[in-house]
């Protein structure tokens, strides 16, 4: 049986995976190979900027910049309790992991979006390490659960002192240990931002494809919310929504969560996600 916190974490991570699935599917359906390229670029931007944010936060907090601390703050592909990972090597310079159960892969398969999911798996780890190490680290993904031939993910990460600048060596050798500091809601909005930044110059049709993906995402989440409230034993009210929903659903939560977004992308998200949730639940 899952705890309340585990139920919440699973639902929020489902929202993240579904947002990626619907946005990528809509772009690929619209643009074919061009859409696939935009999806890959979006994943790279999202992951690289995420790595950079984690590094900045750790530098400001006096935390040592190394691979143990990177994944202590947030495990590679997410902190959902449904991940089943085996860590084969756990050092500051090298991390070797195998993943035998991944909620993202299962969800994308259930949505018939395994191909779109495979794009995420091909790009994410490399870009995350590049962002965190300022281009001095390496990542290798030799197996992936989004590949029909594989029965596990096999991931290797390296950040060798011999490749570091003097400043990076100092940050590597000095500092404290990291503690968990992940936020699915923050990741979800940054994922949307990365998609928008790569699509906004593709004209009206490209932006429309992005909006269709958001609308499909909102429809799915609206259907899932009542079941989730029932599963958790909560009334479907603002208390539940504040606790469980990882993205904004009204003006108050929207204003506080989206301050880093451009005005145009705020409007697109508001119309296609927030307004749909408000109209359904009258919250």
Per-residue pLDDT of the chain (283 residues; tens, 9 = 90+): 678 899 999 999 999 999 999 999 999 999 999 999 999 999 999 999 999 999 999 999 999 999 999 999 999 999 899 999 999 999 999 999 999 999 999 999 999 999 999 999 999 999 999 999 999 999 999 999 999 999 999 999 999 999 999 999 999 999 999 999 889 999 999 999 999 999 999 999 999 999 999 999 999 999 999 999 999 999 999 999 999 999 999 999 999 999 999 999 999 999 999 999 999 998 7
Query: Could you state, in order of their start, the residue ranges of all structural domains in the chain?
Result: 48-173
CA torsion sign for 21, 34, 199, 75 is positive
DSSP assignment letter at 250: S
DSSP assignment letter at 217: H
> In Å, how far are 18, 182, 223, 244 from 253, measured between CA atoms?
20, 19, 20, 13
Backbone angles phi, psi at 123, to 5 degrees: -105, -30
Structure tokens at 193: 């931002």
Query: Using alpha carbons only, how large is the chain's radius of gyration in Å?
Result: 19
Structure tokens at 114: 């395994």
Cα(103)–Cα(87) distance, integer angstroms:
18
Where do the H-state alpha helices sit in the chain? 4-31, 33-60, 67-73, 103-110, 114-133, 166-173, 184-199, 203-232, 238-244, 251-257, 263-269, 275-281
Cα(28)–Cα(227) distance, integer angstroms:
30
Cα(154)–Cα(160) distance, integer angstroms:
20
Which of 34, 25, 64, 15 is closest to 198 using CA atoms?
Answer: 34
């Amino acid at each position: 049986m899952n705890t309340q916190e585990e139920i919440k974490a699973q639902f929020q991570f489902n929202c993240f995976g579904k947002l990626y699935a619907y946005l990528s599917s809509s772009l690929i359906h619209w643009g074919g190979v061009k859409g696939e390229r935009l999806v890959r670029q979006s994943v790279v931007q999202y992951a690289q900027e995420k790595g950079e944010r984690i590094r900045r936060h750790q530098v400001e907090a006096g935390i040592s910049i190394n691979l143990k601390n990177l994944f202590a703050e947030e495990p590679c592909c997410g902190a959902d309790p449904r991940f089943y990972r085996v860590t084969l090597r756990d050092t500051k310079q090298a991390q070797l992991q195998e993943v035998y159960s991944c909620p993202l892969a299962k969800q994308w398969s259930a949505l018939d979006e395994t191909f779109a999911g495979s794009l995420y798996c091909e790009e994410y780890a490399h870009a995350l390490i590049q962002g965190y190490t300022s281009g001095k680290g390496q990542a290798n993904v030799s197996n992936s659960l989004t590949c029909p031939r594989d029965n596990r993910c096999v991931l290797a990460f390296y950040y060798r002192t011999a490749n570091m600048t003097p400043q990076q060596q100092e940050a590597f050798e000095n500092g404290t240990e990291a503690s968990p500091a992940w936020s699915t809601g923050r990741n979800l909005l940054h994922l949307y931002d990365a998609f928008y930044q790569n699509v906004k110059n593709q004209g009206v049709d490209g932006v429309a494809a992005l909006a269709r993906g958001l609308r499909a995402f909102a429809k799915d989440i609206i259907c899932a919310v009542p079941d989730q409230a029932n599963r958790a034993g909560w009334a479907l009210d603002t208390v539940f929504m504040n606790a469980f929903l990882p993205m904004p659903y009204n003006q108050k939560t929207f204003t506080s969560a989206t301050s880093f977004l451009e005005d145009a992308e705020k409007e697109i998200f508001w119309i296609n996600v927030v307004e749909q949730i408000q109209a359904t639940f009258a919250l």
